[in-house]
A and B are shown apart, each in its own frame.
Chain A
Amino acid sequence: MKMLMKGTEAIAEAAVRAGCRLYFGYPITPQSELTEYMAKRMPEVKGTFLQSESEVATVNMLYGAACTGRKVMTSTSSPGFSLMQEGISYMAGAELPAVFINVMRGGPGLGDIQPSQSDYFQSTKGGGHGDYRMIVLAPHTLQEAAGMMNEAFELAFKYRMLVTILVDGMIGQMMEPVELPKWTKPEEFAEPDWALTGANGRKPRKVTSFDLDPYELEKMNLRYQETYKKVAQNEVKYEEFKIEDAEITVVAYGTTARIVKTVVDYARKSGIKVGLFRPITLWPFPYDRLSEISKNVKNILTVEMSYGQMLEDVKLAVLGKSNVHFYGRSAGVVPTPVEILDSIKKIVR
Chain B
Amino acid sequence: MFDGKTKLYLYVGMFGSGKTELSLNTAIFLRKKQTHVAIADIDIISQYFRSRDEKSFLEEMQIKMITVPERYMHADLPIIPPEVGGYISNPDFLTVVDVGGNEDGAVVLGSLKNFIDKVKKSTFFVVNVFRPFSATKAEIISNIDRISQIGKIKIEYLVNNSNVGSETKFDDIKIGEEILTEVSKETSIPLAFTSVDQDMDYEGNLPVFKIKRFMKNPW
Is there contact, CB below 8 Å, between A170 and B16?
no
Interface size in chain B (residues, C-beta < 8 A): 21
| Interchain CB contact (< 8 A) of A258 among B48, B132, B164, B219 | B219
- Counting chain A residues whose Cβ lies within 8 A of the other chain, the interface size class is 20 to 34
Q: Is the interface of B mostly helix, strand, loop or mixed?
A: loop
| Interchain CB contact (< 8 A) of A334 among B49, B165, B166, B218 | B218
Q: Is the interface of A mostly helix, strand, loop or mixed?
A: mixed
Is there contact, CB below 8 Å, between A337 and B219?
yes
Is there contact, CB below 8 Å, between B47 and A4?
no
The CA-CA distance from A261 to B218 in the complex, in Å, is 12
In the assembled complex, A296 has its CB within 8 A of some CB on chain B: no
B140-185 contacts to A (CB < 8 Å): 163-167
In the assembled complex, A176 has its CB within 8 A of some CB on chain B: yes
The CA-CA distance from A136 to B167 in the complex, in Å, is 30
B168 to chain A, nearest CB (A): 8
Known: A29-B47, A262-B219. A175 touches B167 (CB 8 A): no
Is there contact, CB below 8 Å, between B47 and A113?
yes
The CA-CA distance from A124 to B195 in the complex, in Å, is 45
Output the nearest chain A residue to B18 by Cβ-Cβ distance: A4
The CA-CA distance from A173 to B15 in the complex, in Å, is 12
| Interchain CB contact (< 8 A) of A4 among B74, B165, B217, B219 | B165
| Interchain CB contact (< 8 A) of A169 among B48, B128, B167 | B48
Q: Binary interface profile of A, 238-271, with partner B (CB < 8 Å = 1, else 0)?
A: 0000000000000000000011011000000000
A36 to chain B, nearest CB (A): 8
The CA-CA distance from A170 to B217 in the complex, in Å, is 9
Of A5-13, A65-73, A127-135, which stretch is located at the interface? A5-13
Is there contact, CB below 8 Å, between A112 and B74?
yes
B77 to chain A, nearest CB (A): 10
Having A170-B217, A176-B165, A259-B219, one finds 11 other A-B pairs with CB under 8 Å, namely A3-B131, A4-B128, A9-B132, A30-B47, A112-B74, A114-B48, A114-B74, A174-B217, A177-B164, A258-B219, A337-B219
